[in-house]
Amino acid sequence: MAKSRLSGTPSKEEVVERTAKKKPSTVTGTNLTPTTKPSVKKTTKLSSPLPKTTQIEEVEANYITDNGTSTPSDTPTNPTLETHLNNEITASLTPTSSPSTVKIACDLREFNDYIQTLKSIIPSNTSHPILCNILIEADAENQQLHLTGYNLEFGMQVNFDANVNQPGKLTLPAPILADILGKFPNGRLTLKSSFEIIKGSDIPSVSATLSSSNSKHVIRGLAADEFPTIPSVKQKLVTLPASVLIAVLKASLFAVTSEETKRILMGANFQLSHDADRRLNQLRVWTTDGHRVAMIVGLSESSNSQFLNFQTVNFTVPAKVLRVLERSVNASDKVTIYYDGSAEQASKFVAFEWNNLRLTAQLLEGNYPKCDQIIAPYRSELSHQIVVERLSFLKALERLATHSDKSHITAIFDFDLEAQQVRASLNNTLSSGTETVDAKLWGCDFRLKCDIRYLIDTIKAVSSSDLRLLMATPTAPLLIVPFGTPASGTEALECEYVVAPQE
């Protein structure tokens, strides 16, 4: 007979019912009593693979212990610790820190051309692996692909049309990406990215599959969130024909120094102003290495911007940036220069924009030497002059330079007023040479000594058919200017070159 619930033992039926309620779940595989310390076991591996969303949900349902194993989240734990760990996991899985899947299709040749251009600015040795990558951003709204390369000193961005089926971003290593694309056949390229969270790490593993015709290659990359942001430069200064800018750079960059101890001289000093007389914007570029000076003036058509009408701005751009610019633009392009500084407040960055490309660079800090003051004291005394055919003079000096070495670099120039000739000679311990060139001479009643290397580099930079050399004394700076007809296909520029003589 059954006992009372208040006074005695429960019936047999009640015992069976309570036991059934306490039976552990078959999913976790544990058999714990309420007083038993929970054991730590790995999450049961399912026989069929799960999609990535299911794997992420599985991670969210567990917290990570100090030794890296997972423990069921329904196990009694310290609430403070549980809250802290769950917050960390949730934060690591939010869209802001996890890569988004990208799926695009575009013209392979166009994509490859831009990747090859960006590869030229990627550093070969860096302690930041992300800087060896190119940032790829798929914009579904505008149906465009944005590519970015950045080495913390300067960066290049490009936008072009593509079929964006799924927006997102990722980064891929530039060297292997450029190498693979360069060997793909022409046609359409499909890029699809994927990511997974590697066991024991919170960092997602990013990869991209590149497909074209019968080719399919997978490249592992890095999350785009790690890629540094290129500074924005918004104030438009001037728009120049690329042909003018190319001519200016070709005529000036040879005089830039490569010595790290003279960092400010490792760039070209840009001075931008408005020429009121000709109603044109003017770009004046100075370069010097301490032994020679180049000053080049380029003029552009007038623009709607009134900024340069009231002030002149100047800044120094690293030569390596300008060489990338010179290689990347076409003579038929228009190049717009952006700079957020002013005559009173300097800026740290400048940007050059043409077509769908933009090159942003950090400027060199410091005061550039006032190069015009080198020759200014002698301008009224430049009564000794020589006019000579440029190419014949250059060939003569190059033949003479075969006798030069580190200790024998000085060429000696004698002037024959009667014969109207210039005689140049160079001697070393093993050999010597003499070259005579016809010229038109005025004055020149002394002997001149110059470093033959500096003369050759300067003459190569000049594009005209003839040269005009002006001198005050044998020890005063030598002024060289173009004379005669400009070379075919080049802009007529205002140029001046100064070469220091040898004692």
Amino acid at 441: L
The count of other CB atoms within 10 Å of the CB of residue 341 is 18
Q: Hey, is 426 helix, strand or coil? A: strand
Show pLDDT as tens, one digit a residue, over the chain (503 residues).
444 333 444 554 554 455 554 444 444 444 434 444 444 444 434 333 433 333 333 333 333 333 344 444 444 444 443 343 344 333 333 334 456 689 999 999 999 999 999 999 998 887 888 999 999 999 999 999 999 999 999 999 999 999 999 999 999 999 999 999 999 988 999 999 998 776 766 667 899 999 988 889 999 999 898 899 999 999 998 888 999 999 999 999 999 999 999 999 999 999 988 877 777 788 899 999 999 999 999 877 665 556 666 678 999 999 999 999 999 999 999 999 999 988 788 899 999 999 999 999 999 999 999 999 999 999 999 999 999 999 999 999 999 999 999 889 999 999 999 999 999 999 998 999 999 999 999 999 999 999 999 999 999 999 899 999 999 999 999 999 999 887 655 555 789 999 999 97
Q: Which residues fall within 8 angstroms of residue 110, CB to CB, at 6 or more apart?
A: 160
Closest CA to 357 of 180, 204, 194, 149: 149
Closest CA to 192 of 110, 100, 104, 95: 104
Q: Hey, is 393 helix, strand or coil? A: helix
Closest CA to 208 of 482, 437, 216, 400: 216
What is the model's pTM? Answer: 0.76
